[in-house]
Amino acid sequence: MPAGDIGRVRRSDAEWLTGLDAWWRAANYLAVGQIYLLDNPLLGEPLVAEHVKPRLLGHWGTVPGLTLTYAHLNRVIRETSANVLFVAGPGHGSAALNAAAWLEGTYSECHPDVARDEEGMRRLFRQFSFPGGVPSHASPHVPGSIHEGGELGYALAHATGAALDKPGLVVACVIGDGEAETGPLAASWQAPAFLDPVEDGQVLPILHLNGYKIANPTVLSRLPREDLRSFVRGHGWEPIEVEGTDPTAVHEAYAAALDECLVRMAEGRRPVVLLRTPKGWTGPALRDGEPVEGTWRSHQVPLPGVRHDPRQLLQLERWLRSYRPDELFDRDGSPAPLVEAHCPEPELRMSANPLAHGWVQRELRLPPVAAHAVDVRAPGGRDAESTRALGRYLRDAMRLNAGRGNLLLFSPDEHASNRLDAVFEVTGRRWRLPTLPGDDHLDPDGRVFEILSEHLCQGWLEGYLLTGGHGLFSSYEAFTHLVDSMVAQHAKWLHMAAEEPWRRPVPSLNYLLTSHVWRQDHNGASHQDPGFIDHILSKRAEITRVYLPPDANCLLHVAEHCLRSRGLVNVIVAGKQSEPQYLDSDAARAHCERGLGLWEWASTDHEGGTDVVLACAGDVPTQETVAAVHVLRELVPDLRIRVVNVVDLTRLPVPHRHPHGMSDRDYTAVFTSDTPVIFAFHGYPWLIHELTYNRPNHDHVHVRGFSENGGTTTPFDMCVLNAIDRFHLALAALERIPRVADRLGTLRQRLLHHLDRHHDHIRRTGEDLPEIRDWRWVG
């Protein structure tokens, strides 16, 4: 729908209300049926205990507000042909969403075994919160949903992300007043500072104030009315209020309110609906004399004793019949014409919006990596800042996709600090608030989003990806833990979505973790935490990838691979500091494609066996490992050392743990079956043990990584503190090589002498020896 049409609402005769109310009743009936019924879906016979599920699960309280809103949006769609995406914050009200999709026919199209007839209705009911069935949350099985709602707080951020680059789209976002207490949701109200009223879609928040959470009232519902209005106005939203307990009056008010919203949105204003209707509205008023409707008691199952208590069974039957199912469904169980008529045209159904199912994707054009490669003539022949090379690559990717609305970057105020600032040559930082002289690359249409909220960066990006866009989230490594729970939920979503054939895989969620643990020497302990990759690897292996490119050209190849991929969570860890470069573009491509491999040029075990394997993963560990080879050769010239570099961490485990896992044969060909392996690792050392504990030579694997030893010091001292520096690595190797055992005491002395020199220098100057940045420096 062209944006200019939004306001031109043609509210027709009074029939709209009859049809709307019937649709609402039908959806409510279907929701109650899902919570309670195993059988007798149309109440063709009197309800008996055997028709009721033995275990009653589900969340009724939020349902009538969701169905009401869905019904009213359908009216708007029918009258204006608006393109609307529906985001249900109270995802645990998915009985409402299943019902809506079933009424619209989409449910049966996606799940043919659940047809739009009596048997289909029976199955719709039975499967809900039933073993082997569907959960009570708006999981990927729900047509039209891009939002689960199991973990609360992300509805408005997802809605905002979904609106980006979708001119003309309306993203209607129901926010529960419980969810509204969360941090991520509270921050999400800042969206108007970033949303483009023309090039992005409209976000229409509908704050449903039904008053209660599980057991408590909600904060926002009990604020003085004027305070709540004041609160939402603060970020530029315009409150429009709807309140009531009488359905007809509420229908009239809600319809008028949505019409007013459309008018204002067409004017570029930001309406928000404050909807006050009772929790569990139209459900049982009382249970055993205690109020249920309109209280926290209606949160889940209002009549929990139906199966054993004949009075509650009777209450349930009355409740179901209060929706007058005979008017709503034909004898075969399909929606009656009265209900059917309130459904939008098939292509306008919210439950069938192709944006929600990954069907609208504009292919990402990517520049050739080779053209952006750092010129590396010989391993270590030059230094470079890896992320700066990536910045140039992203700049050209932005250029190639100009006007295509398919690529956005997100970061908590760190693109320049992370040295990706080349992108500012072609686009700016999105900013819709006033500007001042001296502001740096602010742009009302910028394609770079910076807000000091990892939650919003993540939530916006998720919403954008789930509706077909491509993107990258760059962040300080330590602070990505802020979104641990969000990425866990997204990974679960991707995994479940892959099981629904009517959903297409969406572009992957790509992280660039820079400002990483080894270079947070100056910021101290609070900035030193490499554990995000541990967290990622605890999620489904089908979905999760972790890359540790050792230099710029590897970073470029990995980034290209991640940006092209779909359906994954890709984590790339790469430093922003100037550091040695090892591989030219071709070598980097081959190395990244293998995922891990022997570095011949750094190894000395070309003949006659291997004394020790020095393995490394991560840029700083790689630098120290290659340096350790030089240290070792200086000390014991005839040592046969093999250097193995790991880019793709998921090559390490066995194949049944991860699809990238190597066979034991391939693994042994690289790591050997009995040679000591000194593994210098970017993250917590136990992650390597966890990934390799059942490999043949695991007893010989000795891992050095970050062991929570940090503080305010120098980059090289960070390595020393965690014994991952070249001297400690060399010592660890020597200690495990039998043929140098007789000289070990002397060798150790020489290594400790180098460490002493290092300490002295730092104590005197506050800096590392400049030579230390050269991996050929041997002390």
Give whichever of 54 and 738 is closer to a copy of itself, judged by the CB atom. 54
Shortest approach of a copy of itself to residue 746 CB, angstroms? 27
Interatomic CA distance for residues 493 and 149, integer angstroms:
11
Taking the CB of residue 10, how many other CB atoms lie within 10 A of it? Answer: 8
286-287 and 290-291 as β-strands: parallel, antiparallel, unpaired? antiparallel
By C-beta, is 370 or 723 nearer to a copy of itself? 723
In the complex with a copy of itself, the residue whose CB is nearer, 454 or 584, is 454
Chain centroid offset of residue 94 CA:
20
Least CB distance to a copy of itself at residue 214 (A): 5
The amino acid at 590: A
Rounded to the nearest whole angstrom, what is the least distance from the CB of residue 600 to a copy of itself in the complex?
Answer: 30
Identify which of 210, 280, 287 has the alpha carbon closest to the alpha carbon of residue 242.
Answer: 210
Q: How far lies 215's CA from each of 245, 281, 295, 686, in Å? A: 21, 17, 9, 42
Q: Give least dist CB 205 to a copy of itself, A.
A: 15
For a copy of itself, the closer of residues 414 and 624 by Cβ is: 414
To a copy of itself, the closest distance from the beta carbon of 70 in angstroms equals 22
Classify residue 711 by burial, with Cβ atoms within 10 Å: 0-12, 13-18, 19+: exposed
Q: Which is nearer to a copy of itself, 198 or 219 (CB)?
A: 219
Contacts for 329-332 with beta carbons within 8 Å, 24 or more apart? 329/26, 329/42, 329/121, 332/117, 332/118
User: Residue 271 is which amino acid?
Assistant: P
* Cβ-based nearer residue to a copy of itself, 178 or 247: 178
Q: What is the DSSP letter of 218?
A: -
Question: At 667, is the secondary structure helix, strand, or coil?
Answer: helix
Shortest distance in whole angstroms from residue 20 CB to a copy of itself: 30
Closer of 79 and 450 to a copy of itself (Cβ): 450
Nearest one of 414, 421, 595 to 513, comparing CA atoms: 414
Which C-beta is closer to a copy of itself: that of 9 or that of 175? Answer: 175
The H or E element spanning position 416 is none
CB of residue 549 to a copy of itself, shortest distance in Å? 23
Q: How far is the CB of 677 from a copy of itself (least distance, A)?
A: 14
Q: Which is nearer to a copy of itself, 35 or 592 (CB)?
A: 35
Q: Helix, strand or coil for residue 63? A: helix
Q: Counting beta carbons within 10 angstroms of the beta carbon of residue 162, is it exposed (0 to 12), middle (13 to 18) or buried (19 or more)?
A: buried
| Least distance CB 487 / a copy of itself (angstroms) | 9
Q: Which is nearer to a copy of itself, 216 or 248 (CB)?
A: 216
Sign of CA dihedral 43, 46, 47, 50: negative
Q: What is the smallest separation between the CB atom of 186 and a copy of itself, expressed in angstroms?
A: 4
CA distance 232 to 543: 38
- Rounded to a whole number of angstroms, the minimum distance from the CB of residue 538 to a copy of itself is 5
Q: Please check whether residue 38 is in contact with residue 283, taking contact to mean a CB–CB distance below 8 angstroms.
A: no
In what helix (H) or strand (E) does residue 586 lie, and over which residues does it extend? helix 585-594
Kindly write down the DSSP assignment for every residue of 692-709, as one continuous string.
HTTSTTGGGEEEE---S-
For helices 585-594 and 552-564, the axis angle rounded to 10 degrees is 60
CA dihedral 684, 516, 486, 182 (to 10 degrees): 110
By C-beta, is 366 or 482 nearer to a copy of itself? 482
